Amino acid sequence: MKRLTCLLLALCSLPLVAQVPDSLDRDRSKYATYSFSKDDQYKVETPYATVRVQQPKGKKVKNVIFLIGDGTGLSQWSVGWVANGGALNIDQMPVAGYSRTYCTDRLVTDSCAGGTALSSGQKTKYGYIGIDENAEPIASNLHYAMKKGMKTGVTVTCRINDATPADFCVHGPSRGDEEGLAAQYVGCGVDFISGGGTHFWNQRSDGRNLIEEMKAIGYTYVDKLEDIADAPGDKFLGLYDEYDLKPALDRGPILMESTMKAIRMLDNKKGFFLMVEGSQIDDWAHRNKVGYMCEELFDFDKVIGAVLEWAERDGQTLVVVTADHNTGGLTLLKGSIEERTVKVHFSTKGHDGIVVPVFAFGPGAERFAGVHENAEIGQIVKELMR
C-alpha cells in the first residue's frame, strides 16, 4: 500500500512538472490565450467595439493627424475586418483613395523612401530618409508645421530612430546609421516624441546619453505606460523599450495612451501636426504571422477610433490614414465574419508593389479621393495646412 501511494503521488505530480515552461517565450505572454497555433490562421475570441462619427461641416484645417499603418494594404485591412466580426474604425472614414508607392529607383519601395514621399511630398531613392535624390535634406510637413508656429509630435511602436518617424523628423542616407539618426532628435524641435530604442540613446558607442541631453533642454522623460498620461510639461520624450516595443498584447495600450496624451499636450490656438505609426503591422507581415499582424492592426485601428472621436468634436482636424507600402503579398483565402476566423496566404516575406489605400476624415478630406502618387499625399497635406 505504501508503494502504491508513493506511485500515485508521483504520477499526480507529472502534469505539474510538464506545465512549467522552460523558456521565456511567447507562451508565457498574453498571446497564450489566443489562437496562434498556425501562422496562417487566426480567430478573434472577443471583438472590440468600433466608434460612430459624423464628418464635420467646417472647412478650416487647424490640426493634422497623419496616421501610417506601416506595410498595411487593402489585404491587411480586409483580413482585420473579417477577424473583428465585420467592423473596424477605419469604416468611419468618409473618403477613400489609393496611393502608388514606388520610389525613384525601384518599383517596390522601402519605408525610408515611402515615408519620405508621404512626409515631404517628394519621391526619393530607396533607403533615403528625409533627403532628395541628390542626398540634400528635404523639409517634411512636420518641419513646415513647426515653421508656421504649430506644435508637432510623433508616436510610434518601433524605435523612434527607425525609418518612418525619422522621415518626418531628421535626415540621412541610411537607416543603418541608427546612432546618428537618434542623435539628430536632440534639438530637433519636435514637441512630443514617443516610441522605443533606448539602446541608441543611452548605450551609445560615443558615450553620449541623449536622454539626459533631452531632459536638460526641457523634455519630460517617461519610460513606463502608466506614467504617460500625467507627465508634466510641454515637451515630452517617451522611450519604453531598448529596441522596438513588445508585441501589441504584451506592451499594452502605449500607442493609444501616447496618442491621446500628444493630442492633449499639443492642442493650442495655432494648431498641431501629429504623426502616428502602427509600426509593427509591417514586422509581423514580414514574418508571415497573421495573428500577430491582426493584433497590431487592431491596436492601430483602436487609436484611429479615438482620434476620429476627438476630431469630430474639434471640427477643425484633418485625419489621414495611409501606408508607406504593402508587405507580405497577403491573400485572404477563407474565413467567417460570424465566427471571426481567417485563413490567409503570404506570397513573400518582403514588400510588394501593390497600391495602398488612403482614408481621410475632416476638413479637406475630399482631396484624397481617387488615385494618387504617394508624394501627392504629402503635397495635399501641406496645401491644406497653408
Question: What pLDDT does residue 242 have?
Answer: 97
By the 8 A CB rule, do 266 and 317 touch? Answer: no
Confidence bin at 371 (pLDDT 50/70/90):
very high
Collapsing DSSP to helix, strand or coil, 134 comes out as: coil
DSSP letter for 219, please. Answer: P
DSSP letter for each residue of 104-132 = SS-SS--HHHHHHHHHHS----TT-BSB-
pLDDT value of position 271: 98
Query: Where are any strands of DSSP class E within the chain?
Result: 41-43, 63-69, 95-100, 151-159, 192-196, 220-222, 236-239, 272-278, 317-322, 326-327, 330-336, 341-346, 351-352, 356-361, 370-373
3 state SS of 361: strand
Bridging pattern class, strands 356-361 and 317-322: antiparallel
DSSP per residue over 35-67, as a string?
--SSTTEEE-SSPPP-------------EEEEE
Return the domain boundaries, the chain: 62-385
Predicted local distance difference test score (pLDDT) of residue 36: 61
Taking the C-alpha atoms of residue 96 and residue 234, their distance in angstroms, rounded to an integer, is: 34
To the nearest whole number, what is the mean pLDDT of the chain? 92
- Do 113 and 351 meet the contact criterion of CB atoms below 8 Å apart? no
Note the pLDDT of residue 23. 37
**Please, what's the largest Cα pairwise distance for the chain?**
89
* Residue 330 pLDDT greater than 80, yes or no: yes
| CATH label, 62-385, candidates 3.30.1490.20, 2.40.37.10, 3.40.720.10, 3.40.50.2300 | 3.40.720.10
Q: Residue 71's closest CA among 330, 291, 334, 295?
A: 330
DSSP 8-state symbol, 172: B
Predicted local distance difference test score (pLDDT) of residue 38: 80
Which DSSP state fits 316? Answer: S
The Cα–Cα gap between 80 and 42 comes to 10
68-99 CB burial, b ≥16 within 10 A, e <16: bbbbbbbbbbbbbbbbbbebbbbebbebebbb
User: Which amino acids are annotated catalytic?
Assistant: 111
pLDDT tens profile 109-132: 999 999 999 999 999 999 999 999
- Inform me whether the pLDDT recorded for 138 exceeds 60: yes
Counting Cα atoms < 13 Å in the Cβ hemisphere of 141 gives: 30
Distance CA 303, CA 257 (A): 9
State the Cα–Cα distance between residues 173 and 177, nearest whole angstrom: 8
The angle subtended at Cα 201 by Cα 196 and Cα 203, nearest 5°, is: 110
pLDDT of 363 over the 80 cut: yes
DSSP annotation of 85 reads T
Q: Is the dihedral of CA 343, 164, 119, 130 positive or negative?
A: negative
| pLDDT tier, 339 (very low <50, low <70, confident <90, very high otherwise) | very high
pLDDT digits (tens, 9 = 90+) for 259-303: 999 999 999 999 999 999 999 999 999 999 999 999 999 999 999
**Is the pLDDT assigned to residue 2 strictly greater than 50?**
no
More confident residue, 36 or 21: 36
pLDDT at position 9 is 37
Q: Identity (one letter) of the amino acid at 106? A: R
What does the pLDDT average to over 9-35? 43
